[in-house]
Amino acid sequence: MTPEGDGPTSDEGWARRCNRRASSLLAHIAAAVLAALAVMTFCDVVARYFFNKPFIFSVEITEFAMGLIVYLGLGLTTHEKGHVTVDIVTLRVGERLRAALEATTGLLALGFLTLMVWQIWLRAGSLYAKGDYTPVFAIPLWPVAFAIAAASLLLLTGLAVHALGALRRTLHR
């Protein structure tokens, strides 16, 4: 049994394991992007101050990298409940009420984030349809936008798993 009360063979346990694996993979990719960004920034500083030849592409690459780092890491952060929470009130109530509050806030957040993710997908489609690209090197924006949109789905699935687990704990205790 996990701390959330899920059995290892339940559908929710299967969903939790799949979400963990996918989120972990994307978080490792985000770490690689962050490392590459650090190397590029170091090389840009050396080129700028020692050779007076800064990289002209560093702003574009940094913008792409920052978006990817955030969205590729959100799924794992959500899966591990790594977001900041304030539990002053919930620590003083019983387990069943705490689970009910968690389920309620989880379902509300799920509704809001579903709208947000839908808008991210629409924006990615718009960038693809318009053929938008970066101003310096004319790198198309849509591949990164679709990667961000796809990664944001793990935010939703992680939140859904937690909300359903809390709902289950509410109903079964």
The CA distances from residue 60 to 12, 48, 71, 89, 121, in Å, are 40, 17, 17, 44, 21
Q: For residue 41, tell me if it sits in a domain.
A: yes
Overall domain count for the chain? 1
- One DSSP character per residue, 49-107 reads HHSS---SSHHHHHHHHHHHHHHHHHHHHHHTT-S----TTGGGS-HHHHHHHHHHHHH
Residue 21 vs residue 173, higher pLDDT: 21
The one-letter amino acid code at 17 reads R
Residue 84 vs residue 18, higher pLDDT: 18
Q: For residue 5, tell me if it sits in a domain.
A: no
The set of residues, in sequence order, having a beta carbon less than 8 Å from that of 1 and lying 6+ positions away, is: 7, 8
The pair of three-digit structure tokens given for residue 8, joined into one six-digit string: 């290892």
* pLDDT single digits (tens) 28-47: 999 999 999 999 999 999 99
Q: For residue 83, tell me if it sits in a domain.
A: yes
Structural contact between residues 27 and 75, judged by C-beta atoms closer than 8 angstroms: yes
Q: Check whether 55 has a pLDDT greater than 90.
A: no
Q: For residue 2, tell me if it sits in a domain.
A: no
Q: For residue 143, tell me if it sits in a domain.
A: yes
Q: Check whether 81 has a pLDDT greater than 50.
A: yes
The set of residues, in sequence order, having a beta carbon less than 8 Å from that of 93 and lying 6+ positions away, is: 101
Phi, psi of 140 (to 5 degrees): -65, 140
Q: For residue 52, tell me if it sits in a domain.
A: yes
Instruction: Name the residue range of residue 118's domain.
Output: 11-172
Q: For residue 129, tell me if it sits in a domain.
A: yes
This prediction has a pTM of 0.75
Q: For residue 132, tell me if it sits in a domain.
A: yes
**Residue 2 banded pLDDT, cuts 50, 70, 90:** very low
